[in-house]
């Protein structure tokens, strides 16, 4: 039996999803206006995503499941979370010709994910935005 990572337990994932919902409400009400809110607005405008997609993408990001690929530029690894419907341990997201792609596109129901945008890519959007801001802060 494989060992379950702490972020994959139901209570932890449910807590992250609840925190994501609260963040979305603060962004939409104007109480918050940070980089996370910027990504939420961008994803809605660019990809037409719904609140469920944002909650799951933001929960993945909040659970620290995204990391830069150590050998490829413009590529990231996203840990799978069974509670969010993942059947694989890790997914790779990469940027190709200005479009994000994910290995989940080749898995079960990948045709539907490819037609829209998966939450693995959503988590990467949050991650890359925050990383850029962190790099700017370090330069100042």
Per-residue pLDDT of 4-22, as tens digits, reads 455 557 889 999 999 999 9
For the chain, how many helices (H) and strands (E)?
Answer: 5, 4
Domain ranges of the chain: 8-139
User: What distance in Å separates the CA atoms of residue 130 and residue 31, rounded to the nearest whole number?
Assistant: 19
Tell me the per-residue pLDDT of 33-72, one tens digit each, with 9 for 90 and over: 888 999 999 999 999 999 999 999 999 999 999 999 999 9
pTM comes to: 0.83
**What is the predicted pLDDT for the residue at 3?**
42
CB atoms within 10 A of CB 94: 17
């Amino acid at each position: 039996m494989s060992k379950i990572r702490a972020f994959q337990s139901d209570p932890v994932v449910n807590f992250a999803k609840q925190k994501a919902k609260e963040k979305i409400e603060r962004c939409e009400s104007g109480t918050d206006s940070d980089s996370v809110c910027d990504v939420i607005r961008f994803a809605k405008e660019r990809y037409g995503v719904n609140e469920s997609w944002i909650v799951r993408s933001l929960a993945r990001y909040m659970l620290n499941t995204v990391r830069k690929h150590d050998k490829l530029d413009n590529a990231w690894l996203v840990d799978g979370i069974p509670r969010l419907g993942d059947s694989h341990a890790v997914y790779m997201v990469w940027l190709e010709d200005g479009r994000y792609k994910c290995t989940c596109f080749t898995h079960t129901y990948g045709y539907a994910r490819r037609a829209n945008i998966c939450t693995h890519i959503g988590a990467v959007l949050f991650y890359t935005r925050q990383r850029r801001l962190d790099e700017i802060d370090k330069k100042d």
